[in-house]
Amino acid sequence: MKGTMRAVRKIRLEPGFDLVKVEIPQIQPNEVLVKIAATALCGSDVHFYTWDEFAQKRIKPPVTIGHEFCGEVVEVGNAVREYKLGDYVTADSHIVCGTCDVCKLGLQHICQNLKIFGNDVEGSYAEYIAVPETSLWRLSRDVPTAVGAVMEPLGGATQAVLIEPVTAKSVVIFGDGPIALFGAGVAAAAGARKVYLVGMVASRLEIARRMGANVTFNINDPLDPVKAILEDTHGIGADVVVEMAGAPQSMKNAFAVVRKGGRVTTFGLTPKPIEFDINFAVTLRQVTVRGVAGRHMWDTWKLADGLLASGKLDPRPVITHELPLEEFDKGFKLMTTGARDTGKVILRP
């Protein structure tokens, strides 16, 4: 497609982004052009906005930011087989090679040659995005565009919670960021017997309860969540613990609250390496540790899709703001300065 479009790009090697006019991306034979209906701000994009050390190592401007989106297929490459004009789609943020050993082992999402939209290739804070067919996921028309835009982080939550079954199990989630809040919804929708969420922001704990958490704890309250959960589980501990805060103390609490033979999923990234007693935490208590980065392509997507279709999972309480693309700055200010009350922020081009 010919013409220009608006895009929010990282151009200057300093904090902030710029809204500029650029050419509409020209698609390759294996790609489709998606007209973006909604795109979501991600915590990882905040690094690029504030231009911290991580960001300076990770991306090479100029690049259009954004990797969570949905929209309509408006142009189809010659070699594309499964998608056609008018399809309502979202995409994994990952562009995978499909041929490395890791991909062949079924772990495409941690491909050796991984590229990410809005990091390594042009992203979704724009009117259009070019997407290889291998990264696309078709959405049902029943899925509102605000939800379509958060399928990628919802997939992360689904993977972290459901990497092993949670049906009839007690589940503790540490963290109250958007993915942790999605995680509470996933655990409840998948039939957990009781969902506990440990966070630090009252408004987010309120969202967690709307998502299906049965009990929430605020670490700023005098009540010790580990002690309370141990008591509630007759001193045994929780069957499943999902660490999504990435705080050293919360990582330690995750292992303190899991039962013998239970499962801990590590998802949050700690700012620096932490030390703990692996003998007690894992070995002697036969705890299973499952690390989760991103989401399996595509069984996790199928699970998230199914939970949405069942009507048991509705991620919308987590979406707290919708703004026009032009107001991206306001969105990122909400994510940085006003972060405490901000869930997911959606931009509409």
SS (H, E, C) the chain: CCCEEEEEEECCCCCCCEEEEEECCCCCCCEEEEEEEEEECCHHHHHHHHCCHHHHHHCCCCEECCCEEEEEEEEECCCCCCCCCCCEEEECCEECCCCCHHHHCCCHHHCCCCEEECCCECCCCECEEEEEHHHEEECCCCCCHHHHCCHHHHHHHHHHHHCCCCCCCEEEEECCCHHHHHHHHHHHHCCCCEEEEEECCHHHHHHHHHHCCCEEEECCCCCCHHHHHHHHCCCCCEEEEEECCCCHHHHHHHHHHEEEEEEEEECCCCCCCCCCCHHHHHHCCCCEEEECCCCCCCHHHHHHHHHHHCCCCCCHHHEEEEEEHHHHHHHHHHHHCCHHHCCEEEEEC
> What minimum distance in Å lies between the beta carbon of 73 and Zn ion?
22
Task: Name the residue nearer to Zn ion (CB basis): 112 or 249.
Answer: 112
With CB under 5 A as the contact rule, the residue among 70, 111, 304, 319 that binds Zn ion is: 111
Binding footprint of Zn ion, residue count (CB under 5 A): 5
CB 295, CB 155: distance < 8 Å:
yes
Q: Interacting stretch for Zn ion, rule CB under 5 A, among 56-64, 110-118, 137-145, 206-214?
A: 110-118
- Does the protein bind Zn ion through residue 180 (CB under 5 A)? no
With CB under 5 A as the contact rule, the residue among 19, 20, 46, 100 that binds Zn ion is: 100
- Does the protein bind Zn ion through residue 157 (CB under 5 A)? no
- Does the protein bind Zn ion through residue 110 (CB under 5 A)? no
Task: Map the footprint of Zn ion across residues 28-57, applying CB under 5 A.
Answer: 42
Task: Name the residue nearer to Zn ion (CB basis): 111 or 287.
Answer: 111
Q: Interacting stretch for Zn ion, rule CB under 5 A, among 23-31, 97-105, 231-239, 259-267?
A: 97-105
Task: Name the residue nearer to Zn ion (CB basis): 7 or 151.
Answer: 151
- Does the protein bind Zn ion through residue 97 (CB under 5 A)? yes
Task: Name the residue nearer to Zn ion (CB basis): 103 or 304.
Answer: 103
> What minimum distance in Å lies between the beta carbon of 64 and Zn ion?
15
Task: Name the residue nearer to Zn ion (CB basis): 22 or 97.
Answer: 97
> What minimum distance in Å lies between the beta carbon of 19 and Zn ion?
20
> What minimum distance in Å lies between the beta carbon of 180 and Zn ion?
14
Task: Name the residue nearer to Zn ion (CB basis): 97 or 202.
Answer: 97
With CB under 5 A as the contact rule, the residue among 103, 149, 184, 334 that binds Zn ion is: 103
Binding positions for Zn ion, rule: CB under 5 A = 42, 97, 100, 103, 111
